[in-house]
Amino acid sequence: MNLEFLPAIILILNSIFAVTIVFFERRNPTAALAWLVVLFSLPSIGFVLYLIFGQNYTRQRMFVIKEQEDRRFLRETFEEQYREFTDRRYRFATPEAEEFRETIVLLLRNNRAFLTEENRIDLYTRGEDKFDALFAAIRGARDHIHLEYFILNNDDLGRAVIHALAEKAREGVEVRLLFDAMGTRAGGGSRKAFSELTDAGGKIGVFFPSVYRVNYRNHRKIAVIDGVTGFIGGFNIGDDYLGKGPLGPWRDTAFRVTGKAVQLLQLRFFLDWHYVTDEYPGLLPRYFPDPGSSGTTPVQIVSGGPDTRWNAIKEGYIKLINSARESVYIQTPYFIPDESVTDALRLAALSGVDVRIMIPCKPDHPFVYWATLSFVGDLLDAGVRAYTYDAGFLHAKTIVVDGKAGSVGSANWDVRSFRLNFEANAFFYDAAVGAGLARAFEEDLAVSTEITPERYRARSRRVRFKESVSRLFSPLG
């Protein structure tokens, strides 16, 4: 190849991608402008970065069938509840659900996130407790085990999980394990690492094997055992989540769910499993047993991803913030919101609501960390209080409003979770669960440092430069 033509070829490629971004992708204007800056300010590598991180024009082609199948199935399965709950004459069973009925109806209408009202929620903030509960549920399985995780590392904890699943498979329990190709491969996982499970008769599914694409990853963390016990939250499977990794002690949040909401976790797993493997286990009683009445907590399982028309989890977050009368507590490792989220938080704080955001004190992704500090800093003058968690790495993705309602799941407060990754969160409406989540937040304050406006304004020029550069490219995706 004659290298003298290389600059012209690069210019043509960048121009083609620029036209695609402007005229065909219809992406967020801020993100579009950021990509145009990359293409023409870094011409020699801009198109390579775009091939890896961009290309939203492929999203509709890749996931339109998944979206249509998911929505059709959910619509046919729960149409009766949809009609009932969207009727304003309907009264929910608990005062918290009635108080937040607009949030419930919003999520029902834009995501088919159907409400179950008879659940029990157990809250976990330590990896040891969460994985003890998961192993206990696996050991007690009698019919089936379904796991769906972004990361399943090939380390001590990951191998222990595979071994436990293989033991149950050898006993005749049906085991299905779904993991994301990129997330799990980054942790040393491969098909060979799961041979013990497959040799025992377990089934594995690999989500989106195109590991060269950073976007459109399955970031969900779901487990369903015998259709009666479910787990959802921020923990992946690996030694890091027990505090044994390079980031040290690990602070995360997860729910164990018993009750009818487990059926919705099961359904979410089946839809994702079907997309990956073309196998649909079906609405059999063995997979959807009558859970009875485990408790009184209303729960919605809300899904987000590139196969959804609207950003349901983000919109649920915003609706909760707008409904707050007393307090909004948020924990997230990544805080790169769009204007709709920052406006909601700013307006809540200016209205007298106690708005607090907690982020890590250390970065696992430096670029994202400095952008997070920048966006947090923007809100301080409006009265939002912000903290860095100093006792380890904060990985929780939570919100609790007025100590009565909130969300726990896999979705961070950033553009990637809102637009590009497949996520799943449990939205709850219960004062007891809300009080537990608020109490955990308040206990974390004792090992956190507040980012006051004075402290933020006193940051060094070096930090300001890192924030500015990171923020400039934060909309990319």
Q: What is the mean pLDDT of residues 397-402?
A: 98
Residue 23 pLDDT > 80: no
- The crossing angle, in degrees rounded to 10, of helices 29-41 and 461-473 is 110
Q: Which has the higher per-residue pLDDT, 265 or 466?
A: 265
Are 116 and 263 in contact by the 8 Å Cβ rule? The answer is: yes
332 touches 413 (CB < 8 A):
yes
Average pLDDT, the chain: 86
DSSP string for 250-270: EE--EEEEEETHHHHHHHHHH
399 and 302 in contact (C-beta within 8 Å)?
no
313: closest CA among 326, 300, 323, 322?
300
What's the pLDDT band for 5 if we cut at 50, 70, 90? low
Residue 283 above 80 pLDDT? Answer: yes
Residue predicted with more confidence, 248 or 57: 248
Give, as one character, the DSSP assignment of residue 420: I
Most confident of 67-81, 174-188, 235-249: 235-249
> Cα dist. 34→22, 42, 314, 336, 477 in Å?
12, 12, 22, 15, 9
Q: What pLDDT was estimated at residue 53?
A: 55
Would you call 219 a catalytic residue per the annotation? yes
Question: Which of 22-36, 91-105, 216-230, 424-438 is the least confident region?
Answer: 22-36
Domain covering 118-298, topology = Endonuclease; Chain A (3.30.870)
Kindly give the residue spans of alpha helices, DSSP state H, lying in 155-239: 156-170, 181-186, 195-199
d(CA 371, CA 465) in angstroms, rounded, equals 11
Would you call 226 a catalytic residue per the annotation? yes
Q: Answer yes or no: 395 catalytic.
A: yes
Q: Which of 66, 144, 168, 219 is catalytic?
A: 219
pLDDT band at 183, cuts 50/70/90?
Answer: confident
pTM of the model: 0.85
Predicted confidence at residue 431, as pLDDT, reads: 98
**pLDDT at position 73:** 56
Of residues 206 and 68, more confidently modeled = 206
Catalytic residue among 221, 260, 314, 404: 221
Q: What is the DSSP letter of 211?
A: T
Q: Of 397, 404, 414, 444, which one is the catalytic site residue?
A: 397
Cα 196 to Cα 161: distance, rounded to the nearest angstrom:
11
Q: What percent of the chain has pLDDT over 70?
A: 78
Give catalytic status of residue 221 as yes or no.
Answer: yes
Candidates 180, 226, 307, 338; catalytic one? 226
What letters, b where the CB count within 10 A reaches 16 and e where it falls short, cover 144-154?
bbbbbbbbbbb
Residue tagged active-site, from 402, 414, 430, 444? 402
